[in-house]
Structure 1
Amino acid sequence: MQNLPGPLKLVVEQLSSLPGIGPKSALRIALTLLKMPMEKASVVGQSILDLRKSLCLCDDCACLAESSPCAICADSTRDDDQLCLVPEWDALLAMEAMGIYKGKYLVLGGLLSPLDGVDPGQLEIDRLRRHLSSGRVHELILALGATLDAESTASYIKNMVETDFHNVNVSRLAQGIPMGGEVKFMDKETLKQSLVHRQKI
């Protein structure tokens, strides 16, 4: 990559800093952008800028939205006494795609991962506490996946709820999610069965 012209090298470096994009993929994307007509490339660039300007985090659930509260939190037909905890926004999208869950959500912002330096202070634990303290939530559904980080996060949250929120039942997605599986990658039917047959923990 040393022989790349400066501007191209800069774009490749920026793209390859994104998760899941290595230097070769970044170079292919950058070259594709170069081959585009100027107008189309400008639209791509402007849409990235608009993404940052137009989206915010919902004050209630911490999901990406065009306004706060988001459409789900503002929906008066959603059930306030169920709160589904998901690690990231894409897991929320997977849960919503099933079309059967009618409660509210909270996006945790990741999972506990000591090896990666992610501790409770970097997650939405305080926001979760505020929801549970409201007295409206009677069931906390953990939709965190079945990875080691998900298990340690679930254990941490379960202990917190048992210690501080005695009126809240904690359940988790059940059958169908294999060890190491992430909610966002599950097919709709597997996810649906996991929600319907969730287990108290």
Structure 2
Amino acid sequence: MQRLPAPLQKIVDQFSALPGVGPKSALRMAMTLLKWPEESVRAFGRDIENLRSALHICSRCCSLADTDPCHICADPKRSREQLCLVSEWDSLVVMEESGIFKGRYLILGGLLSPLDGVDARSLEISRLESILREGEVREVILALGSTMEAEATSTYLHGLVTRAFPHVSVTRLAQGIPLGSEIKYVDRETLKQSLKYRQSL
């Protein structure tokens, strides 16, 4: 096989490092860029270069956003009485796409996994406690999926919230979600039903 020119090979290697992108797909993507008008490619490059500096972590919910606070936390129409806990940002995106939840979120930054060295100190537990101490939240909704790590995290959070904040109820999404699945992979209708018929813990 003919060796690719070095600049092209470099881009192919970088695309190949992305999740779900193999060498052939990476080459197709690189070749597509070569067919674009030069200014479009330069603009694409600038957008990638500016990505990190243009994004913020919301100081309230830990979401990725272009403002701080994010548009969800800043929205006065969102209920302050419901706080939905998700493990990662992409789970929040899926929840928002369902269109049914009108409260606020907190992204935990992962799930408890002692074997991987992820304990409670690695998660946004202090931020959760700070939000609950404000006294507005009446319900914490655990939208963490049904993996073993999600179950361990749910058990830990349930104990923490009910002990320290007895006025706050803790619920979880209904078990229409397949065992072992993550929220970000659940289809929209299943997620809507799971949220609508959530269960008390």
TM-score grouping bracket, smaller chain normalisation: 0.7 to 0.9
Give the drift of 1:35: 4.3
More displaced stretch, 80-89 vs 4-13:
4-13
When the two chains are superposed, the root-mean-square deviation of aligned CA atoms in Å is: 2.3
Give the drift of 1:181: 1.8
Give, in whole Å, the separation in 2 of the partners of 1:191 and 1:29: 33
3-state DSSP of counterpart to 1:106? strand
Q: Which runs of 5 or more residues in structure 1 are unaligned?
A: none
Large movers: runs of 4+ above 6 Å: none
Give the drift of 1:193: 0.9
More displaced stretch, 155-164 vs 28-37:
28-37
Instruction: Please report the TM-score for the alignment, with normalisation by the length of structure 1.
Output: 0.87
2:140 corresponding residue in structure 1: 140
1:95-134 CA distances to partner (integer Å, 9 max, x unpaired)? 1222221111111122222333333222222211211122
Contact 1:79 1:102 in 2 (8 A): yes
3-state DSSP of counterpart to 2:144? coil
Matches within 5 A, 1:98-113: 98-113=98-113
Contact 1:80 1:103 in 2 (8 A): yes
Give, in whole Å, the separation in 2 of the partners of 1:116 and 1:52: 27
Instruction: Please report the TM-score for the alignment, with normalisation by the length of structure 2.
Output: 0.87
3-state DSSP of counterpart to 1:68? coil
Does residue 68 of structure 2 align to residue 65 of structure 1? no
1:32-55 CA distances to partner (integer Å, 9 max, x unpaired)? 334444322212211112322222
Give the drift of 1:199: 0.6
Give the drift of 1:14: 3.3
Letter in 1 for 2:30: A
Letter in 1 for 2:83: L
2:16 corresponding residue in structure 1: 16
Letter in 2 for 1:158: H
